[in-house]
Amino acid sequence: MFKKITFAILFSMITLMGFSQFKFGETYASKSEDGATKYLKVYEDGLVLMVATKDELSKVQEYFHRDSEEKDYIILYRSQSKIKDGSKASFVLDKDGNKINCIAQGQGETISLVMLSPNMGKQETIFTLVK
């Protein structure tokens, strides 16, 4: 009984401190080899946004939000995810019939994103919180 209570208190403290949780609505980034940066946002209601661009962060912040729309040069992925325990999201990115199954694991200031695509296989990307 004591162990269960101790574990519950410890788990609650870790959750409150934000470990292993998404920072909902915040922007995460990952540099690509081609010089572009991938940006990722996860919202508490399950909305996921992702874009890869060479735009400066200040420009990205103008169009990378909940009400974003694609522009001629911006391929914006939008998906609805299933979020588990505030730290894991599974979703499908679909662009022109190319479906990419994704699993994102929140780890406080980082997100590990695994993408499974029939065309490109398995890819893993680490995103870091933009401050």
Instruction: Give the domain ranges of the chain.
Output: 21-129
pLDDT tens across 22-66, in order? 888 899 999 988 999 999 988 888 888 888 899 999 998 888 888
Q: How far apart are CA 85 and CA 1, in angstroms?
A: 23
What global pTM score does this model have?
0.75
Long-range contacts of 125-131 (CB under 8 A, 24+ apart): 125/30, 125/38, 126/30, 127/28, 127/29, 127/30, 127/38, 127/40, 128/28, 128/29, 128/30, 129/23, 129/26, 129/27, 129/28, 130/26, 130/27, 130/28, 130/29, 130/39, 130/57
pLDDT at 9 (0 to 100)? 43
| Amino acid making up residue 57 | L
Q: What is the mean pLDDT of the chain?
A: 79
Q: 21-129: what CATH class?
A: mainly beta
Q: How far apart are CA 72 and CA 53, in angstroms?
A: 12
Tokens 């081609």 correspond to 34
